[in-house]
Chains A and B, each alone.
Chain A
Amino acid sequence: MRFIPHTKEDIDEMLAAVGANDLEDLVAHVPAELRRRAALNLPPGMSEAEVAAQLTDLADRNRGARGYISFLGSGCYRHYVPAAVRAVIARAEFATSYTPYQPEASQGTTQTIFEFQTLIAQLTGLPVANAGMYDGASAAAEAVLMAHRLLPKRHRVVLARALWPDYRATIRTYLSAQPALEVVELPFDGEKGTCDEAALMELADEQLLCAVIGYPNAFGMIEPLERIARIAHAAGGLAISVTAEALAMGLLRAAGALGADIAVGEAQSFGLAPQFGGPWAGFFATRQEFVRQMPGRLVGMTRDAEGRRAFCLTLATREQHIRRERATSNICTNHSLCALAAAVYLTLMGRQGLRELAARNLELAHEAAAMLAANGLRPRFNAPFFNEFTLALPNLRSALSTAQARAILAGVPLAPDYPELADCVVLAVTELNSPGEFSLLCEALKQ
């Protein structure tokens, strides 16, 4: 077996050294009834070429990965990934290291995490960010749990209905073992496609723990985050902003500047391919005074014995390996390499590039929306949007299948998650789409 270096001689000599006759001797103390049934009914091992052929065949059967014009978004966005991102994360020094528990042997990993934390703090406009979470949805759930630690006497969690269904479902699962918490869905305004602020006012009393708001939301609309945060704060609760299309942060006002107490989201747009849903990286930023209630890892700057700058994991007393059942989260392995990809991406984009790319996305999405409107397909909602918007189509199902037959994936339908929007589809437009594609889209959907 090519991954196992031992020759027959190695095995014999090592067995002799440990006083065993054969390899089975080494497991002879495992109850015989278990060993008898342990044989694996798997095919024999394969050569590298055979493995490559098998997986290539499976990859080729994913016809939707290539050759389609795509307007799919809704939590995963198609963006160009610069080659430099792949070149860095392919480095075995990053890819095959473990969590940096020995800082002297992990200055590469710890410093890049420190840089990631800084980049996320700068983008969200909040003072501190952690080393990353699994994804945007679980980060949102952890944000609600953190809010509960900060305000343990309050128990109403307000989830915007215009938050992605996967995110809402994830939050509900994480809260399912917290019977004290009550989850209330905040309706959206049927015209604007953003939160119903009057409804939030009603819910914002001394029981309000937090309001969880998509920024932009699941319909692509830009929520009035500042007003929402003000309502939450007036009731003594917290505002949590959740961003699935992180590129929007390059153009929109920072969540922290608008009053969000916790800003979380999905960093997939920053250099991570769709890869059928993961792995990507969640981000998590908050106010300085909340840092000891944060979930996940944190890297801090310190010095070594000779006074040089150095980085290490810190405030670990929040974490499961120290605090066990009293930890702020059970998270251990996170998505560090994905956070590194995001750090490389953001560094490469830089202060000007990220804003320009975000602007390009917005510009193209508005061009597409305008062309659709000119063809009689008006956006369903009228709030401002970034690079995603919602269309209502009277004959949605047949329009989408017509488009698919013409090799166009014309967006993600909102049914069955939003029965009230059963005729609606959300389209995402990124820099990978072109105006030529918009005319084909219009023609297909007009049918």
Chain B
Amino acid sequence: MTYDIQRQVALIFEESVAGRRGVDLAGGERSLRHARELLGEALCREDIDGFPEVSEPQVLRHFLRLSQLNFSQALQFYPLGSCTMKYNPVLDDELAALPGFAALHPHTPAELAQGALELMARLEAALAEISGMDAVSLHPAAGAQGELAGLLIVRAWFAKRGAARRKVIIPDTAHGTNPASCSLAGFEPVVVRSNARGFLETDEVRRLLSDDVAAMMVTNPNTEGIFEPEIVAIAQAVHEHGALLYLDGANLNALLGVAKPGDMGADLAHINLHKTFSTPHGGGGPGAGPLAVKRHLEPFLPNPRLRPSASGGLEIDPDRPDSIGRLRAFHGNFAILARAYAYILAMGADGCALASRIAILNANYVRKRLVRYHSASPEPSMHECVMTHDLERKADVSTLDIAKRLLDFGIHPPTIYFPLTVPGALMIEPTESENRETLDRFIAAMEQVYDEALQQPALAKNAPHHLPVRRVDEVEAARHPSLRWQAPTPPTGS
């Protein structure tokens, strides 16, 4: 295999030359000899086979050149549906890195960490207000961990009442994390189908409800970008059967000042701070997935919680009897929480309400102007629209080909083949951050891709043409997994 030195970057291990170093350290080689004496050779490793030896400037050039091979929200239009790739205020990164936050050890006595605890309490209150819920735990590391926490609470709720239930109803449009979290929490997922218009019908939900259903998970707006019109009736039906309603807040960016999950009847809801509250996605994280609940479920929230201290401040309550326990070490992804709080302060009530409305306007504008594609549903779109096309039939050009061709226009493609209910889906979430000119450019590119595909299908089928690499062979990657670099010569000892 080759790599193109102009467009690609060698692996750091290939750049390594014995004897180079990227740091100068106080003790150096002398410390190493001393430590080995103190500890005894038997406990020490000989070497770290294959570890790189490179200078500081080389390290920077390596990683900075690699950075240039990425598309990102800051540099490209990134309308990835259900991911809410909105602008991440650069101020928030700066504030999260303030020494008063960054250097704060999580075991610092509470009286010396009042600013951090206060920030967490204020963020909990703001998220409770936004979601219409009573109590919020900032503990979960990501949306999926929020789901797990929520489902374990559902389990604990029924266990406490001495009436274990086994099933959780999940719509066919749900994210994969919903059924995966169910399994992890010991529930059996039961799928409820959406109707032809892309939403849930109360009667269909009622058909599946029984005394063995512990909860129903609903994403609202759903992954077709549609506000579930019967959500209130569904919540009522779920509650009539003694079950709980879990609202997946992945699409909360459509709801700020529009509708609150708590008012819809949700008993639990998680919130993805890396979506609606604008913390950077980091190439796949870190985010944070706070869990909001109604009053009756508060005792079950994960440990630890905040509580007032004797001296009038706040402290950590490490252990509450009904809690489901911990899902991770320490208090939560604090540096993400700080960014989200800064974002909420900047937006305020009006900014939040405007953000959702403009996100909805952008999605509907794209949907309306994309004349060569059609909406999967006749229902109005919220913050994202799901489109389909006839290129597969007309030109043997797939949704994947369309996505790859869009890359040549310097646009990150929408989410593809999701939701699973829409064949060949393109799920487009422009977010409120993008201006009209960008949307128009995207629309023009999409239409051009369509026209080209009819005339020269090979252009799409072989795309991308102008990226650092051509179409990547993912099948080969899975067939012969090569998951780490291997030294060309056999290693010696370890």
27 contacts between A and B (CB under 8 A): A30-B227, A31-B229, A37-B132, A37-B263, A58-B115, A78-B103, A84-B22, A95-B88, A95-B283, A99-B283, A105-B76, A106-B70, A109-B70, A113-B283, A114-B483, A122-B51, A123-B51, A136-B329, A164-B329, A278-B329, A314-B483, A334-B285, A336-B282, A337-B284, A356-B28, A409-B105, A412-B107
B477 near A94: Cβ-Cβ < 8 Å: no
A118 near B464: Cβ-Cβ < 8 Å: no
B189 near A325: Cβ-Cβ < 8 Å: yes
Q: Whole-angstrom distance from the CB of B363 to the nearest CB of chain A?
A: 9
Given A55-B98, A134-B328, 11 other A-B residues pairs in contact with their CB atoms under 8 A: A29-B380, A38-B257, A43-B349, A65-B99, A65-B112, A91-B64, A107-B66, A107-B468, A253-B43, A291-B483, A320-B175
Residues on A with C-beta less than 8 A from B113 are 62, 64-65, 276
Name B180-197 residues within 8 Å CB distance of A.
180-187, 189
B472 at the interface (CB under 8 A from A): yes
Residues on A with C-beta less than 8 A from B289 are 333
Supposing A105-B467, A108-B67 touch, asked if A52 and B95 sit within 8 A by C-beta, the answer is yes
Among A174-182, A196-204, A230-238, A388-396, the one that faces the other chain is: A174-182
Residues on A with C-beta less than 8 A from B29 are 352, 356
Q: Whole-angstrom distance from the CB of A310 to the nearest CB of chain B?
A: 5
B322 at the interface (CB under 8 A from A): no
A51 near B108: Cβ-Cβ < 8 Å: no
A350 at the interface (CB under 8 A from B): yes
Residues on B with C-beta less than 8 A from A314 are 474, 477-478, 481, 483
Residues on B with C-beta less than 8 A from A355 are 32, 45, 47-48
A44 near B350: Cβ-Cβ < 8 Å: yes
Q: Whole-angstrom distance from the CB of B19 to the nearest CB of chain A?
A: 8
B484 near A121: Cβ-Cβ < 8 Å: yes
Cα–Cα distance between A313 and B362 once the two chains are bound (Å): 31
Name the one of A41, A250, A331, A350 contacting B53, with C-beta atoms under 8 angstroms: A350
Q: Whole-angstrom distance from the CB of A400 to the nearest CB of chain B?
A: 9
Supposing A104-B467, A348-B59 touch, asked if A82 and B23 sit within 8 A by C-beta, the answer is yes
Name A1-43 residues within 8 Å CB distance of B.
1, 3-6, 10-11, 13-15, 17-20, 23-24, 26-27, 29-31, 33-35, 37-43
Residues on B with C-beta less than 8 A from A43 are 345, 348-349
| Contact string against A for B residues 301-313, beta-carbon threshold 8 Å, 1 for contact and 0 otherwise | 0110000000000
Name the one of B49, B145, B469 contacting A310, with C-beta atoms under 8 angstroms: B469
Q: Whole-angstrom distance from the CB of B49 to the nearest CB of chain A?
A: 6
| Contact string against B for A residues 84-116, beta-carbon threshold 8 Å, 1 for contact and 0 otherwise | 101110111111111110111111110111110
B91 at the interface (CB under 8 A from A): yes
Residues on B with C-beta less than 8 A from A90 are 93
B22 near A353: Cβ-Cβ < 8 Å: yes
B103 near A66: Cβ-Cβ < 8 Å: yes
A362 near B38: Cβ-Cβ < 8 Å: yes
B326 at the interface (CB under 8 A from A): yes
Among B202-210, B335-343, B388-396, B444-452, the one that faces the other chain is: B335-343
B130 near A40: Cβ-Cβ < 8 Å: yes
Q: Whole-angstrom distance from the CB of A129 to the nearest CB of chain B?
A: 7
Name A280-331 residues within 8 Å CB distance of B.
281, 291, 297-317, 319-327, 329-331
Residues on A with C-beta less than 8 A from B333 are 277-279
Name the one of B27, B53, B66, B348 contacting A42, with C-beta atoms under 8 angstroms: B348
Name B97-135 residues within 8 Å CB distance of A.
97-109, 112-116, 118-119, 126, 129-130, 132
Supposing A322-B176, A352-B53 touch, asked if A305 and B470 sit within 8 A by C-beta, the answer is yes
A252 at the interface (CB under 8 A from B): yes
**Whose C-beta in chain A lies nearest to the C-beta of B466?**
A104
Residues on A with C-beta less than 8 A from B70 are 93-94, 97, 105-109
B60 near A88: Cβ-Cβ < 8 Å: yes
B360 at the interface (CB under 8 A from A): yes
Cα–Cα distance between A300 and B483 once the two chains are bound (Å): 5
B141 at the interface (CB under 8 A from A): yes
Interface residues on chain B, number (Cβ under 8 Å): 213
Name A121-145 residues within 8 Å CB distance of B.
121-123, 125, 127-129, 131, 134-138, 145
Residues on A with C-beta less than 8 A from B326 are 137, 166, 169-170, 173
Of A117, A297, A330, the most chain B CB neighbours within 10 A belong to A330
A261 at the interface (CB under 8 A from B): no
**Whose C-beta in chain B lies nearest to the C-beta of A362?**
B35
Residues on B with C-beta less than 8 A from A300 are 477-478, 481-483
Name B58-106 residues within 8 Å CB distance of A.
59-60, 62-64, 66-76, 78, 80, 83, 85-89, 91, 93-106
Q: Whole-angstrom distance from the CB of A334 to the nearest CB of chain B?
A: 5
Q: Whole-angstrom distance from the CB of A107 to the nearest CB of chain B?
A: 4
Among B238-246, B290-298, B432-440, the one that faces the other chain is: B432-440
B470 near A39: Cβ-Cβ < 8 Å: no
Name the one of B75, B95, B232 contacting A93, with C-beta atoms under 8 angstroms: B75
Residues on A with C-beta less than 8 A from B116 are 58, 62, 276
Supposing A64-B104, A123-B48, A135-B329 touch, asked if A360 and B469 sit within 8 A by C-beta, the answer is no
B484 near A128: Cβ-Cβ < 8 Å: yes
Supposing A87-B60, A122-B51 touch, asked if A60 and B115 sit within 8 A by C-beta, the answer is yes
Residues on B with C-beta less than 8 A from A44 are 348-350
Cα–Cα distance between A327 and B132 once the two chains are bound (Å): 32
B403 at the interface (CB under 8 A from A): yes
Q: Whole-angstrom distance from the CB of A257 to the nearest CB of chain B?
A: 5
A340 at the interface (CB under 8 A from B): yes
B422 at the interface (CB under 8 A from A): no
A128 near B462: Cβ-Cβ < 8 Å: no
Name the one of A38, A74, A134, A266 contacting B258, with C-beta atoms under 8 angstroms: A38
A135 near B73: Cβ-Cβ < 8 Å: no
- Top-9 shortest CB links A-B: A59-B100, A64-B112, A277-B330, A337-B282, A45-B348, A177-B186, A61-B115, A279-B286, A359-B35
